[in-house]
Amino acid sequence: MTTAIALTIGFIILGPFIGGLLEGMDRVVCARMQGRQGPPVLQPFYDIYKLFNKQSILVNNIQDLLVCGFLVFVVFSGVLFFMGEDILLVFFALTLAEIFMVMSSASANSPYSSMGAQRELVQAMTYEPMLLLTAIGFYIAAESFRVDDIARTDIPAIVYLPGIFLGYVFILTIKFRKSPFDLSTSHHAHQEMVRGLTTELSGNILALVEVAEWYETVLLLGVIGLFFVNGTWWGLVLALVGILVSFFFETFVDNVFPRVHWDTMVKSTWMFTLIAGGINLFILVLIR
Amino acid sequence: MKISKSPWIIHYDGSSCNGCDIEVLDSLMPKYDLERFGVVNTGNPKHADIFLVTGGINAQNKPVVQQIYSQMPFPKVVVAVGICACNGGIFKECYNILGGVDKAIPVDIYVPGCAARPEAIIDGVMKAVALLDKKREEMKKEAKEN
């Protein structure tokens, strides 16, 4: 219980710093892959500081409230996860947070913003089956939906769930807004709908979105870690290596693949979910 | 910490030969890599701090430039890149050209050249960045006085 509370407090306080550092590393690695020097590792924090110091233009009076809802529910789902609660609840709370973000951009009277919102919904529809399969896979492997039970099994979940792990890494590309699937908004300049989801957000409201995304990054990478931990010290080392390798892989994919059309995204992701996740689950049910 | 550590750019090409336009993109490419100063090409006026304009102003793009400028949140800096953006350049005498960018919006930094070299553009952006800090201070003072 003390570990859970320590982890939760650590998540609430250190979450944005870890998320920001990861984004900084991502930008440097990304630049090196393109043969550039790249920004300093602390660049995301400079950006946040800048955004908090800018004038904030509100286009309506519900937008900021909805963005705050996004932040609160992302933190809430992270707290549930690190407290060792039900993993299904974590994913549901995360989806609710996403809906807040979608509503915030749909509330703005701008075609770019509402198109970003629509695409975000398509993205949610695309990754949601795999998220649920991940939760079900954990349940069959550890016979419990609770995160603390899953983290304490003798054999790491990855042994039972290699296919589901690959499927999860696949949808992580959508969640992290990386290149083939960065339809609703992109961290790069080459976004065809101005900025999509965040077009109408500026100043400190945009900064809140960034902070929420850093929390989300930590939470999603925590789920990657959950595949590897088994209550021993080498399980933790394995989890850390797994997290770093998956994160590097996402950066790599970001630089290798061009953005795809939305129906290609839906088809390929669902196909991969069905093949990797479905077959994995089927075999698991047979052998357990 | 200074806000100048994270200058985000929006780039608009007015009535020009596109030479400066290409040079602006060139300064974001691996060789000159403006991103090492934290510069991001946003393409969204609501996220931008620095407005880079290349090319002159004509009757058609004047409202566009003014619109982009008005959508940018304070503090903001305008950089006119290339001689056409400074005063109309080679197109100055044309019937449709009103002149440089300062005919439409207040310009802070002028970067001459035809086409402006990436080194000159980077220099201009760095001057704009210094100005951003100054404007932020002024903003703070005004907020205190009110």
pLDDT value for A193: 81
Specify the pTM.
0.91
The gap between the terminal CA atoms of chain A, to the nearest Å, is 30
Q: What is the mean pLDDT of residues A225-250?
A: 89
Going by the DSSP 8-state scheme, the letter that residue A179 receives in this structure is G
Q: Please identify, in words, the CATH class of the domain defined by B3-145.
A: alpha beta
A8-41 burial, b at 16+ Cβ within 10 Å, e below that, comes to beebeeebbebbbbbbbbbbbbbbeeeebebbbb
Whether the CB of A47 is below 8 Å from some CB of chain B: the reply is yes
CB A209 within 8 A of CB A199: no
Element (H, E) at A213: helix A203-226
Mean pLDDT of B8-15: 88
Give pLDDT tens digits for A69-113.
999 999 999 999 998 889 999 999 999 999 999 999 898 888 888
The pLDDT score that the predictor gives to residue A122 is 92
pLDDT > 90? residue A231: no
Q: Which of A176-190, A264-278, B85-99, B117-131 has the lowest mean pLDDT?
A: A176-190
* Cβ count near B93 (within 10 Å): 7
> Cβ(A82)–Cβ(A11) under 8 Å?
yes
Mean pLDDT for the stretch of residues B11-25: 87
Give chain A's mean pLDDT: 89
Sequence-distant (≥ 6) Cβ neighbours of residue B90 within 8 angstroms:
B83, B84, B114
Percent of chain A, pLDDT > 70?
Answer: 99
The pLDDT tens digits for A172-221 are: 999 998 888 888 888 776 677 888 888 888 888 889 999 999 999 999 99
A129 interfaces chain B, CB cutoff of 8 Å: no
Phi-psi region of A207 (alpha: psi -120 to 50; beta: other; left: phi over 0): alpha
Helix (H, G, I), strand (E, B) or coil at B85: helix
Tokens of B142: 């005004």
B42 pLDDT exceeds 90? no
| Per-residue pLDDT at A165 | 92
Q: Where are the domains of chain B?
A: 3-145
* Domain parsing of chain A, residue ranges: 2-287
Per the CB < 8 Å rule, is B75 touching A54? Answer: yes
Least confident of A93-97, A180-184, A249-253, B116-120: A180-184
Q: How confident is the model at residue A272 (pLDDT cuts 50, 70, 90)?
A: very high
CB contact under 8 A, A202 and B73: yes
Residue B143 has φ and ψ, to the nearest 5°, of -60, -35
Helix A63-82 vs helix A87-107: angle between axes, to the nearest 10 degrees?
A: 170
**Tens digit of pLDDT for each residue in A34-56?**
888 889 999 999 989 988 888 88
From B3, B37, B46, residue closest to A57, measured CB to CB = B46
CB contact under 8 A, B33 and A43: no
Interface mutation target, options B46, B52, B142, chain A, most CBs of A under 10 Å: B46
Nearest to B36 among A38, A50, A200 (CB): A38
- B80 has which bridge partners? B53, B110
pLDDT on residue A267? 93
From the list A132, A225, A227, A121, the residue with the least C-alpha distance to A174 is A121
Chain B environment of A27 (Cβ under 8 Å): 35
- Top-confidence residue, B52 or B146: B52
Alpha-helical (H) ranges within A83-179 are 87-107, 111-142, 147-151, 157-160, 162-175
Interface size between A and B, measured as CB pairs under 8 A: 78
Q: Quick check: B108 and B81 in contact, CB under 8 A? A: no
Which residues on chain A are in Cβ contact (under 8 Å) with B28? 189
pLDDT at B2: 73
Whether A43 sits inside 8 A of B38 (CB atoms) is yes
Could you read off the pLDDT of A115-158 as tens digits, one per residue? 989 999 999 999 999 999 999 999 988 888 888 888 888 888 88
Q: In A37-86, which residue ranges form alpha helices assigned H by DSSP?
A: 43-52, 63-82
Measured between beta carbons, the chain A residues lying within 8 angstroms of B30 are 34-36
Query: Cβ of A34 and B30 within 8 Å?
Result: yes
* Residue of chain B minimizing CA distance to A186: B42
A202/B47 Cβ within 8 A: yes
Q: Cβ separation of B38 and A39 shorter than 8 Å?
A: yes
Which amino acid would we find at residue A252?
A: F
- Can you give the pLDDT at residue A189? 67
Q: What does the alpha-carbon distance between residue A177 and residue A39 come to, in Å, rounded to a whole number?
A: 19
